[in-house]
Amino acid sequence: MASIHPDLHERSLRDPEGFWGIAAEAIHWDRRWDKVLDESRAPLCRWFSGGSLNTCYNALDVHIERGRGKQRALIYDSPVTNTVREYTYNELRDLVARFAGALVLQGVSKGDRVVIYMPMVPETVIAMLACARIGAVHSVVFGGFASHELAKRIDDARPKIILSASCGIEVNRTLPYKPLLDAAIDMAEHKPRRCVILQRPQLTASLVEGRDLDWADALANASAVDCVPCEATDPLYVLYTSGTTGVPKGVVRDHGGHAVALKWSMHAIYGIGSGEVMWAAADVGWAVGHSYTVYGPLLKGATTLLYEGKPVGTPDAGAFWRVCEQHGVNVLFTAPTTFRAIRKEDPRGQMVGKYNLARLRTLFLAGERCDPDTLLWAEAVLGVPVIDHWWQTETGWPIAANCVGLGMLPVKPGSPTRAVPGFDVSVVDDDGQKTPTGHVGNVVIRLPLPPGCLPTLWNNDDGFVKSYLTRFPGHYSTSDAGFIDPDGYIFIMGRTDDIINVAGHRLSTGGMEEVISGHPDVAECAVIAAPDPVKGEVPVGFVVLKAGVERDADAITAELVQRVRDDIGALACFRSVAVLHRLPKTRSGKILRGTMKKLAGGIDIAPPATIDDPAILDEVREALRRMGYPREV
């Protein structure tokens, strides 16, 4: 079918109130809104002011009332515990309503905050939806997050209670959560009234008398409660993202705009219908887990999949394909780093052939920039469309995508395609002037942001304006760099601090990574800017080789230097490459380029709280030392 994407996009910008007013009709409202878009406090704009709804009702109860209570709502697949469990909409609603009742017994009411510090288990999803059911504001913190980082979030959110578990389970180890939680509470100025702890069979946590309560005991006398109406502009949740000052920023998501945008996106972007299976392979501690593991599929009446495992090692590089076959996954959403990990272990994609993936029709990639080589490899081994799309924690849903439900546009590897309806994206120079077509600059979004995006930061309107809306007045600054081609396709080249200035030439480290990742021996790579006394900055590369590569590393790195010289030019001054066993990453799979850049500049910072393995930084330091970094500038 011919794509209606461009026409809908134009209509959404010309008449945003009409466009989103129609989309909002798909949501059940307890009270209809007074105004679709309220700009009375611009640039702090709100959607559907005066309206009242309940997100949990729209995610669970409404489907039951429409006769689909026996349909699967949630599938839990945990290869680390050898557990598979399915929940119908009836079953999930009943569990959520009863746990909401348990929260009420602990004194939680509308507007109270609840911090959720838990692993990828069904109780985490139940807890989130239970908070939404009674109008409490949940703040999910990635399970196993460092105590001092958790303490910062406790002090900012000031939760009435904290929900946690005795442990998380990794591939070869059990990670105790309770000692981390106890240490965080000791550090925090704010003390929660109660902690409710899910005791997992793999490890029993000790409870603090008078403060801690066993999850099962909390449920013992609880009764199911009904949904509480919430204002469309009330906060549904707060999700923290790292701040430049070291203080985490609490991204607020409201009830009304969030429900409207996510439900609209399920069909328009992902092509998912009611009853189909969507698997967003992301931890619920991250934005993707909130939007497309928990809320989006359930708002649509689809089936969502919660996976407690890894793409490799649980047990092998075929883990994802086993899950897709076993549960009939229609749409898979994961990060490019997942496919790099799979490709490293299975370069020819042989594991795919062991499974029947007939129901899988689309793969979506997001969370970091997707190099064309990874996209094309995934497309070749899976034989389905592979769609790169771009969004941020702050937006909560895609800014740019090839919208499957609107009719696909031609794919351009390296681009997340065009702006999604509702987003007015442009590229400007450092003075805020639009750049010529094809020229790299600062990617910005004209205000107002569409529904579903953050309306502010938690208790910090001034910080929201300063962080996002001040540098380019009238626009939201994405802090990403990129360009738009003559067809309106957006190319995101990296964060603005990943644009390297080599002797006055503005070059993209992302562009260099594209060239390097195309080498047949390279599984994944990162390019950073390192200080140089003559040129200001020069690029330095790090690569991880594919499994089974036995060629001389020096020969490979020489070839990589030549590839960049041939494709980008001698002006790139790309001369240094190191081979690593692994790249330093966050637990969500993002490469810590900023940390590597600081190490190259002689700033020996402590490992970020989000790093998956701090020991990797020692290998980076040694590689930099061999290349002559840090050096005097």
Spell out the domains of the chain, with CATH numbers in brackets: 507-626 (3.30.300.30)
- For residue range 130-166, list pLDDT tens digits in order: 999 999 999 999 888 788 889 999 999 999 999 999 9
Tokens of 593: 């380029």
Check whether 244 has a pLDDT greater than 60. no
Rounded to 10 degrees, the C-alpha dihedral 293/389/247/604 comes to: 120
**Shortest CA distance to 57 belongs to which of 28, 25, 92, 22?**
28
Beta carbons of 384 and 354 less than 8 angstroms apart: no
The model's confidence at residue 504, banded by pLDDT at 50, 70 and 90, is: low
The pTM of this model reads 0.86
Edge to edge, what strands does the sheet with 194-198 contain?
Answer: 212-214, 194-198, 161-165, 113-117, 137-140, 235-241, 249-254
- For residue range 183-239, list pLDDT tens digits in order: 999 999 999 999 999 999 999 999 999 999 999 999 999 999 999 999 999 999 999
List Cβ neighbours of 255 (8 Å cut-off, separation of 6 or more).
53, 54, 55, 132, 230, 231, 232, 233, 234, 235, 236
* Helix, strand, or coil (residue 298): helix
Beta carbons of 248 and 149 less than 8 angstroms apart: yes
Phi, psi of 477 (to 5 degrees): -90, 120
Count the Cβ atoms, other than its own, within 10 Å of residue 601.
18
* Helix, strand, or coil (residue 530): strand
Count the Cβ atoms, other than its own, within 10 Å of residue 346.
19
Which contiguous run of DSSP H or E holds residue 299? helix 296-300
Sign of the torsion formed by the C-alpha atoms of 278, 283, 286 and 290: positive
**Shortest CA distance to 93 belongs to which of 245, 281, 224, 233?**
224
Check whether 240 has a pLDDT greater than 80. yes
Beta carbons of 25 and 257 less than 8 angstroms apart: no
- For residue range 302-344, list pLDDT tens digits in order: 999 999 999 999 999 999 999 999 999 999 999 888 898 899 8
Check whether 246 has a pLDDT greater than 60. no
| Residue reference for tokens 């081979």 | 579
What CA–CA distance (Å, rounded) separates 624 from 633?
A: 16
What CA–CA distance (Å, rounded) separates 601 from 624?
A: 10
Average pLDDT over residues 168-192: 94
| Residue reference for tokens 């999604």 | 420
What CA–CA distance (Å, rounded) separates 288 from 588?
A: 10
